């Protein structure tokens, strides 16, 4: 558009001058996206340098929601830590609890009852579906499609009902305990899980057909925000975002915890690494997780009755030592490095959250894109601000 | 005396239509969109299925504080909503709803309507520029860029119909319309309607507003009644676009059994429903994608339609 064309007579002339043309002196503008901006899902701030609408530099500014979670862990006993730990990524509370209890159980050398292991696996997968459905609804919303979010929430509500029934919570389930689960499964609950899962599986195509193959959606997401393997490795990007770029890593398969070793975990990967591939991975992971949930229900049905937790001492002290427990959270790798000096509180509990690493890469991804693409990319990075700022 | 009364009556009808039709379209949008998204939409205001929701909204907007940012260009800022709204009112005066039922029968009505319609966009650009807000500037710039994209296909498609009818008068075009114009002018109709959507900045062409990107763009700093005027202009715009499409491409008041004005209104509301439907169904295009759509898609199609109209016209005359 702005290139000088050679006319018929051989003289150079400028056909049109657009915004950001090199012939004109333009001034860069600093644009603050956030901390209060609808497409940051909270209080992430991006400091963009824009030339017209083209981004020349981007700097994620984090910390607006820092709550000092790691420091708070150090003055809480292990039961209280679970309450705190399920809060940073509020869309995957159950999965967050899991990392803490797995670390503590490993340090204690505690054997978790088999029913609890399978129930935990089931709840973790349902939690994953809930998390992904949220993004499957909110991402189209950011691109201007206002309807899919209602479909996504209808499915979420179906699953929330069973989660609420078992745990009493809708967001912060607090259902994990060191050594198992809080309570046994309610009577008839497994049947209701099967129904809910079948319902969601049946209605998922509604959401898929509404947005997935839409020409405008494709135009906005294909080839936009491509993330390559090299960058992913350097920034420690994980989860669906990494898998969308062909990084075939899923702890559920590669380093099985809970009951994943006995389950056929299907790892969804794509190679394109663009916004569309990330959305695709999320959608397919929902299907894969629904299948896993069904498999868990089947196994739980066949298990003989037994305990779902262990009797704990009144004051739970973890022996001296350290361990690192990591889990495949819905948004990526979630790691807890637990250092204990034999007290009832940890000496240090370092939290590695997926979103923190995943948003750092925005600095590399955004430059060169338009502001409109910035929203498409930001939405496809599937982050939770609490998970960034902790 | 009778003449004055006649003009006064016509003006009164136009103002009433101007005040009620957009509200009906707005309410339809609330309800149709809600039901498409498995919601109910407004249910309380006014008692019956929330029929008075928009009136209640209006009352609320009037009561709100009218904030003008300190750094804003006060006069331009204050004037912008009016510039956005008034052109649509003026256009409504030249749109016929039935044979002889028109506010002002201009010989060059089509020309007048398209020219005045273009002024409305100025309101958006003025608002964007005067708000002293970076998001608003971006929105204003997008509005201006968008103007370049859709204006040409819009005019080309409209001129095809004018050529077919051999007149620029809107009532003239509507009365010259025959059913077989429907397939003949089909491409032009689609181009006109799509370009019109872009003019209104309605989804999927709402990038100047883009609430999830640039926070309503030019309207970011507006509150209260001025913001409401922008919203109102959007809905009047839907009515005007639907009415123009009806008159130009769907034969206006022509139709069996029912009286003419009823047909006009039916067609207008059917098209308005399509506008709403599109909003519920589609994501937003990017600004450069609209440019591409306009220059690579709409303009050639409009030219094709123009050629087709010319050829058929010559063949008919021969």
- When mean pLDDT is compared across A101-105, A128-132, B255-259, the lowest value belongs to B255-259
Within 8 A of B280 by CB-CB distance, chain A residues are 146-147
Q: For A303, list phi and psi in degrees, rounded to 5.
A: -75, 140
Are the Cβ atoms of B284 and A31 closer than 8 angstroms?
no
Q: State pLDDT tens for residues B279-310.
A: 888 888 888 888 888 889 899 999 999 999 98
Section B16-42 average pLDDT: 88
Buried b / exposed e along B255-265 (16+ C-beta atoms within 10 A): beeeebeebbb
A-B contacts at Cβ under 8 angstroms: 82
Condensed to tens digits (0 to 9), the pLDDT of residues A210-228 reads 888 888 888 888 888 888 8
Residue from A238, A232, A231 nearest A254 by CA: A238
Residue A281 is predicted with a pLDDT of 92
What is the average pLDDT across A171-189?
A: 87
pLDDT band, very low/low/confident/very high, at B95 (cuts 50, 70, 90): confident
Q: Write b or e for each residue in A190-207: b if 16 or more Cβ atoms lie within 10 A of its Cβ, otherwise e.
A: beebbebbeebbeebeeb
CA distance, residue A141 to nearest chain B CA (Å): 8
Task: Enumerate the domain spans of chain B.
Answer: 67-317
Nearest CA distance, B135 vs chain A (angstrom): 8
From the list A31, A217, A373, the residue facing B283 with the nearest CB is A217
pLDDT grade, residue A20 (50/70/90)? low
Average pLDDT over residues B178-189: 88
Bigger pLDDT: A18 vs A224: A224
Average pLDDT across chain A, whole number: 85
Per-residue pLDDT tens digits for A229-270: 888 988 889 989 999 988 888 888 888 888 888 888 888 898
* Chain mean pLDDT for chain B: 87
* Least Cα separation, residue B282 to chain A (angstroms): 5
pLDDT at A350 over 50: yes
Does B273 score more than 90 pLDDT? yes
Give the pLDDT of residue A4. Answer: 42
Tell me, what's the pLDDT at B192?
A: 92
B83 and A CB contact within 8 Å: no
B contacts of A146 (beta carbons < 8 Å): 33, 37, 203, 279-280
Tell whether A150 lies on the interface with B, counting CB pairs under 8 A: yes
Nearest to B204 among A142, A210, A216 (CB): A216
B271 — pLDDT class (breaks 50, 70, 90): very high
- Of the two residues B148 and A140, the one the predictor is more confident about is A140
Residue A9 has pLDDT above 50, yes or no: no
pLDDT at residue B1, as a whole number: 75
Confidence at residue A3, expressed as pLDDT on a 0 to 100 scale = 42
Q: Do B212 and A375 touch (CB under 8 A)?
A: yes
User: Global pTM?
Assistant: 0.84
Per-residue pLDDT reduced to its tens digit, A315-337: 888 888 899 999 999 998 999 99
- How confident is the model at residue A212, as a pLDDT? 82
Nearest to A53 among B138, B206, B285 (CB): B138
**Does position A7 have pLDDT exceeding 70, yes or no?**
no
pLDDT exceeds 50 at position A1: no
Q: Which of B33, B283, B287 shows the shortest C-beta gap to A214?
A: B283
Percent of chain A with pLDDT over 90: 19
pLDDT at position B157 over 60: yes
ipTM value, please give it. Answer: 0.80
Question: What mean pLDDT comes out for the span A94-115?
Answer: 89
- Look at residue A26 in the predicted model and tell me its pLDDT: 66
Nearest residue in chain A measured CA to CA from B139: A53
Report which listed range, A98-102, B117-121, B148-152, is most confident.
A98-102
pLDDT over threshold 50, residue B196: yes
pLDDT at site A2 = 42
CB contacts, 8 Å: A216 with chain B: 204, 282-285, 289
Cβ contact A148:A138 at 8 Å:
no
Query: Is B279 at the interface with chain A, CB within 8 A?
Result: yes
> So what's the pLDDT on residue A21?
53
Answer whether A330 touches B (CB < 8 Å). no
Q: What is the pLDDT of residues A277-286, one digit of tens each?
A: 999 999 999 9
Instruction: Check CB contact under 8 Å for A219 and B281.
Output: no
CB < 8 Å to A145, chain B: 281-284
């Amino acid at each position: 558009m702005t290139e000088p064309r050679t006319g018929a007579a051989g003289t150079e002339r400028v056909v049109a001058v657009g915004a950001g043309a090199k012939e004109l002196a333009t001034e860069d503008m600093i644009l603050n996206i956030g901390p209060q901006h609808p497409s940051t899902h909270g209080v992430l701030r991006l400091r963009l340098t824009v030339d017209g609408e083209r981004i020349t530099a981007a700097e994620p500014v984090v910390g607006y929601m820092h709550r000092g979670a790691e420091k708070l862990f150090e003055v809480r006993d292990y039961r209280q830590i679970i309450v705190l730990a399920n809060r940073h990524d509020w869309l995957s509370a159950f999965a967050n609890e899991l990392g803490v209890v797995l670390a503590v159980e490993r340090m204690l050398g505690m054997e978790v009852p088999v029913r609890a292991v399978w129930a935990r696996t089931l709840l973790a997968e349902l939690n994953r579906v809930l998390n992904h459905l949220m993004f499957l609804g909110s991402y189209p919303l950011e691109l201007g499609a206002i309807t899919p979010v209602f479909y996504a929430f209808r499915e979420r509500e179906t699953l929330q009902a069973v989660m609420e029934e078992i745990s009493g919570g809708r967001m912060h389930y607090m259902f994990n305990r060191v050594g198992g689960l809080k309570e046994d499964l309610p009577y008839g609950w497994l049947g209701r899980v099967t129904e809910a899962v079948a319902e969601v599986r049946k209605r998922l195509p509604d959401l898929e057909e509404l947005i997935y193959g839409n020409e405008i959606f494709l135009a906005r997401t294909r080839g936009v925000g491509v993330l390559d393997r090299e960058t992913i490795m350097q920034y420690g990007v994980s989860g669906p975002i990494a898998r969308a770029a062909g990084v075939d890593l899923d702890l559920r398969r590669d380093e099985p915890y809970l009951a994943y070793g006995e389950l056929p975990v299907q790892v969804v990967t794509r190679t394109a690494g663009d916004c569309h591939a990330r959305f695709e991975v999320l959608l397919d992971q929902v299907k894969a997780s629904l299948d896993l949930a069904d498999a868990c229900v089947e196994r739980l049905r066949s298990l003989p009755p037994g305990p779902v937790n262990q009797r704990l001492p009144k004051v739970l002290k973890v022996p001296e030592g350290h361990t690192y427990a990591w889990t495949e959270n819905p948004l990526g790798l979630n790691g807890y490095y637990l250092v204990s000096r034999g007290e009832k509180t940890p000496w240090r509990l370092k939290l590695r959250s997926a979103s923190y690493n995943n948003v750092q890469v925005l600095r590399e991804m955004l430059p060169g894109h338009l502001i409109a693409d910035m929203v498409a990319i930001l939405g496809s990075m599937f982050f939770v601000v609490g998970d960034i700022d902790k | 005396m009778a003449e004055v009364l006649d003009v006064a009556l016509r003006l009164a009808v136009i103002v009433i239509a101007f005040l009620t039709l957009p509200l009906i379209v707005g309410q339809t949008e609330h309800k149709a969109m809600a039901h498409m998204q498995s919601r109910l939409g407004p249910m309380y205001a006014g008692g019956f299925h929330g029929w008075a929701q928009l009136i209640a909204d209006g009352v609320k907007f009037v009561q709100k504080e009218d904030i003008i940012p300190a750094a804003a260009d006060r006069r331009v800022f204050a004037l912008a909503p009016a510039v956005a709204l008034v052109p649509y009112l003026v256009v409504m005066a030249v749109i016929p709803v039935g044979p002889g039922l028109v506010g002002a029968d201009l010989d060059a009505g089509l020309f007048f309507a398209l020219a005045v319609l273009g002024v409305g966009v100025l309101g958006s650009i003025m608002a964007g520029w005067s708000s002293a807000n970076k998001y608003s500037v971006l929105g204003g710039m997008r509005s201006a860029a968008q103007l370049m994209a859709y204006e040409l296909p819009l005019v080309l498609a409209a001129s095809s119909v004018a050529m077919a009818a051999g007149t620029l008068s809107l009532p003239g075009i509507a009365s010259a319309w025959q059913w077989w114009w429907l397939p003949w002018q089909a491409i032009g109709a689609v181009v006109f309607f799509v370009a019109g959507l872009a003019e209104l900045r309605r989804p999927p062409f709402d990038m100047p507003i883009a609430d999830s990107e640039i926070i309503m763009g030019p309207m970011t700093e507006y509150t209260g009644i001025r913001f409401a005027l922008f919203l109102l202009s959007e809905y009047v715009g839907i009515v005007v676009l639907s009415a123009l499409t009806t008159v130009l491409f769907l034969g206006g008041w022509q139709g069996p059994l029912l009286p003419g004005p009823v047909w006009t209104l039916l067609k207008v509301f059917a098209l308005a429903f399509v506008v709403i439907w599109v909003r519920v169904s589609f994501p937003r295009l990017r600004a450069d994608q609209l440019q591409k759509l306009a220059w690579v898609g709409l303009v050639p199609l409009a030219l094709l339609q123009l050629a087709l109209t010319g050829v058929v016209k010559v063949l008919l005359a021969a």
